[in-house]
Amino acid sequence: MSALVSVVAPIYNEGPGVDRFVRRLGQVLGEAGLRYELVLVDDGSGDDSWDRIVQHALADDRVCGIQLSRNFGKEPAVLAGLEHAAGDAVVVIDSDLQHPPSAIPAMVQRWRDGAHVVEAVKRNRTGQGVIGRLGGKLFNRAFTGLTKVDLVNATDFRLLSRPALDALLRLPEHSSFFRGTSSWIGFRRASIEVDIDHREGGASRWTFRSLFRLAVNGLTSFTSAPLHLVTLGGLAFAAFAVVLGAQTLIRWLRGGSVAGFPTVILLLLVMGTFLLLGLGVIGEYLARIHEEVRARPRYLVQEKSARAVAEVPEQLVPERK
């Protein structure tokens, strides 16, 4: 029997987009002659997305539906799909069709050629505003510089072999960042270039606030580098204080006037800003520690389609040790 390819897609308020996505995936994967399953994770949608998923699951036993009890966010939704996927290789893709499904057969071929992780690398950022493009590039470059994990032009659209997926699912942290952890695990890798398409139907659900929150969570859950930057900033201010103090003392010993009220005010403003930013960074890491200590499930399943109930173990999340 040929290998099974699982395609995992988080769904949030997509409505008619669910039908377009399932139809397009079925067309591409069917023409490629792949044996596949679609794992659609409804992340607490407020529209009829779940009803549409159930209809497709009843009509086609290759479609599995998982409905989370509320909106947990994209990362937990992706994790839920990965934990319920049964394939020998698993592809994660966005359901808005900006990630081109036509690239999946080429990714599967790279996997058959021996790669365990196949990454789709952006050639362009179609449909993304200037602020979104700059923000995405800034985050990816900052993440790469701080963690030494290359995310420049990277996407969540990627394929993992079963050994790579099992290694990823063994990571115990509560706050997951799929794009970063799937790169961190290593394994033999390959990449393909893709053109990001325009979103089909509706507007993006991502706001600046949600994207900023995702960036902060991804960075703080993956690396402690920002804490080290706070330390380096403190050392730089200490060195500056020593130099300024020495200059003031020398001028006083020479009988010069020690005037510098504007300088003092400026230093207080700069140091106050730095201290508040430093406390903010520390607070983010305390929040991560708080989440890990509470050890709550990363997601809760409210309902599953019939096939998912039959094939997936009852536990919601693998036991954390």
* 125 and 37 fall within a common domain: yes
The DSSP output letter for 65 is: E
Question: In the sheet where 158-161 sits, what is the strand order?
Answer: 189-194, 117-122, 158-161, 89-92, 4-11, 35-42, 63-68, 301-304
DSSP 103: G
pLDDT at 317 over 70: no
Asked if 40 and 281 touch (Cβ cutoff 8 Å), the reply is no
Query: Is 217 contained in some domain?
Result: no
Q: Domain for residue 94, yes or no? A: yes
- pLDDT surpasses 70 at 198: no
Same domain, 286 and 305: no
Structural domain contains residue 320: no
Question: Same domain for 30 and 69?
Answer: yes
Confidence of residue 159 (pLDDT cuts 50, 70, 90): very high
How sure is the predictor about 131, in pLDDT bands with cuts at 50, 70 and 90?
A: low
Full domain range(s) for residue 97: 4-207+297-311
Residue 125 within a domain: yes
Number of domains within the chain: 2
316 falls within a domain: no
Are residue 272 and residue 305 in the same domain, yes or no? no
Going from the C-alpha of 15 to that of each of 18, 49, 97, the distances in angstroms are: 6, 5, 14
Query: What is the three-class DSSP state of 185?
Result: coil
Per-residue pLDDT at 215: 65
At which residue do the structure tokens 């200037």 appear? Answer: 130
Specify which residues 90 forms β-bridges with: 6, 160
Residue 276 falls inside a structural domain: yes
Report H helices in 101-202: 104-112, 130-147, 162-169, 178-184
pLDDT at position 312? 42
Together in a domain, 50 and 142: yes
For residues 160-176, give the mean pLDDT: 84
- Looking at the structure, tell me whether residues 56 and 160 fall in a common domain: yes
73: domain CATH number is 3.90.550.10
172 and 238 both lie in a single domain: no
Confidence at 243, pLDDT banded by 50, 70, 90: confident
Among residues 88, 94, 49, the alpha carbon closest in space to that of 68 is found at 49
pLDDT at 181 over 70: yes
**pLDDT band of 202, cuts 50, 70, 90:** low
Query: Residue 298 has what pLDDT?
Result: 75
Task: Give the pLDDT band of residue 213 (cuts 50, 70, 90).
Answer: low
Q: Measuring CA to CA, which residue among 276, 157, 136 is closest to residue 206?
A: 136
Assess if residue 63 is contained within a domain.
yes
At 268 the pLDDT is 73
Domain identity same for 30 and 142: yes
Cβ-in-10-Å burial (0-12, 13-18, 19+) of 65 comes to: buried
- How does residue 143 score in pLDDT terms, banded at 50, 70 and 90? low
Q: Tell me the per-residue pLDDT of 102-129, one tens digit each, with 9 for 90 and over.
A: 889 999 999 999 889 898 887 765 555 5
Co-location of 117 and 262 in the same domain: no
* Calpha distance 151→57 (Å, rounded): 35
Residue 318 placed within a domain: no
Are 161 and 288 in the same domain?
no
For the stretch 45-88, pLDDT in tens is: 888 888 888 888 888 888 888 889 888 888 888 888 898 888 88
Q: Is pTM, for the whole model, over 0.75?
A: no
**158 and 94 fall within a common domain:** yes
The residue behind tokens 């859950």 is 221
When mean pLDDT is compared across 37-41, 220-224, 254-258, the lowest value belongs to: 254-258
Residues 8 and 30 in one domain: yes
